[in-house]
Structure 1
Amino acid sequence: MEITWLGHACFQLRGKQVALVTDPFTPQPDSSLGKITAPIVTVSHNHPGHNNIAAVSGNPRVVRGPGEYEISDVLITGIASYHDGKHGAERGRNTIYVIHMDGLVICHLGDLGHTLQEEQLEEVADADVLLIPIGGGSTIHATQAAEVISQVEPRIVIPMHYNPTTDEGLQALNKFCREMGVEQSAPQPKFTVSPTSLPVETQVVLLTPPA
């Protein structure tokens, strides 16, 4: 599987037979989605930075909210969570997605605003790859992200929901790497992973959105 971070919380997962896009965002002056095509789109919550379905061509099937979905041999489980640490009182609900694709389990946390509760952890415990927000503000911050990673114990961690072109975003990334006790690696435009290439211990992979 080829994983590309398009910015914010938007990823393209390209498998052998099918592609999936998470949380397509509304283009900003300093960021653009470009042309993307996928038959499946997941939306973690109905905010403009995450629900720009019109940006994805190919007449995709759109997955919104908790439940179980099977599309083109991709099994997706949506898990209820919150956009803040006050049970949604400030920013509403968020959906975590666990995506079974090409023999891998990918977990996209969306705009998670709290560490995982027991029932959520049961659903995501098998994740091989964890796509996790680290920027704070409207999501969990670096320290909470490290705690969630220790809860899940994935093989691959890819941080998202920070802007690597701003000082604030770089500070969030630096803090996250310190919390994880890892040296910052050089960001790469794409990451390719298969069930046989998964590391034994948790590895942090940094991606860079397209310019």
Structure 2
Amino acid sequence: MQIQWFGQSYFKIQSKNNGEDIIIATDPYNDNYGLKVQKFPADIVTISHDHEDHNNIDAIKGEPFIIKTPGEYETKGVFIHGIPAHHDNKDGQERGNIVMFKINTENISIAHLSDLGHDLNSDLLDRIGSIDILLLPVGGVYSIDAKTASKIVSAIEPRIVIPMHYDIPGLKFKSGDKLDSVDKFLKESGLPSEKMDKLKIVKKDLPIDETKVIILNP
């Protein structure tokens, strides 16, 4: 499996199931945020909510299987569970609702928490279940901050955390808001970290006795 990050919540996950190459895209953004929109063909695209920094389906070429709502899905040997949550800590009254996605492929479980705006209660933790790789917002403002993100890591205990939705060079919002840097999360969590361009991983190489943070270069 190979995972690339393009900023915000936009990932490209390349997997292989039954000898077939599978590409999954998550939350592609449009060109209003100062970042180059990476365009590529994919088999599956997940859209967590209908904000333009998460819903640019036009960036994905081909005829992908599009998942935008809660529920359980299976295509090309990939199992995806969409779990409803909120974009804020007021039951969605300020920014609406989102869908978190649990993706199972190559016997590896990935959780994409989108623009989660609140801590996870016991029901949501049970629904998410055991996770190998956690794609986690950490930048605050529009989603959870470093403190809440660290609390969620402690509750889920994934083997790998990949932070997302934090400030990077070029990122800008029309509102003028600025997200926190990833360093704030690294300090808050105290977890060991490593930077790389792409994460290439197989099940047997996942950390066993610790949670490790992987900082992907966008």
* TM tier, smaller: over 0.9
Aligned-partner Cα distance in 2 for 1:54–1:160: 22
Q: Percent identity over the alignment? A: 40
Q: Does 1:42 align with 2:71?
A: no
Give CA deviations for 1:41-94 in whole Å, capped at 9, x if unaligned: 000101100000011001111101210000111000000100000000100001
1:193 positional shift: 1.1
1:129 positional shift: 0.2
The equivalent residue for 1:107 is 111
Give CA deviations for 1:72-131 in whole Å, capped at 9, x if unaligned: 110000001000000001000011100001110000000000011111101212110000
Q: Contact 1:142–1:172 (CA<8 Å) still a contact in 2? A: no
Three-state SS of the structure 1 residue aligned to 2:125 is: helix
The equivalent residue for 1:159 is 163
Letter in 2 for 1:10: Y
1:166 positional shift: 6.7
Aligned-partner Cα distance in 1 for 2:3–2:155: 23
Letter in 2 for 1:14: Q
Give CA deviations for 1:150-198 in whole Å, capped at 9, x if unaligned: 11100000000012227955x531110011113653x311001111000
Aligned-partner Cα distance in 2 for 1:174–1:189: 17
Q: Does 1:189 align with 2:193?
A: no
Three-state SS of the structure 1 residue aligned to 2:100 is: strand
**Alignment map for 1:57-72 (pairs within 5 Å):** 57-72=61-76
Letter in 2 for 1:204: V
Q: Does 1:175 align with 2:179?
A: no
1:28 positional shift: 3.5
Q: Does 1:199 align with 2:214?
A: no
TM-score (norm 2): 0.91
Aligned-partner Cα distance in 2 for 1:8–1:90: 20
Residue ranges of structure 1 left out of the alignment (5+ in a row)? none
Letter in 1 for 2:217: T
Alpha carbon RMSD of aligned pairs, Å? Answer: 1.6
The equivalent residue for 1:82 is 86
Aligned-partner Cα distance in 2 for 1:29–1:132: 20
Q: 1:29 to 1:177 in 2, by over 3 A?
A: closer
Aligned-partner Cα distance in 1 for 2:87–2:34: 25
Q: Contact 1:23–1:51 (CA<8 Å) still a contact in 2? A: yes
Three-state SS of the structure 2 residue aligned to 1:176 is: helix
The equivalent residue for 1:32 is 36
Letter in 1 for 2:109: V
Q: 1:23 aligns with which of 24, 27, 34?
A: 27
Q: Contact 2:101–2:113 (CA<8 Å) still a contact in 1? A: yes
Letter in 2 for 1:78: G
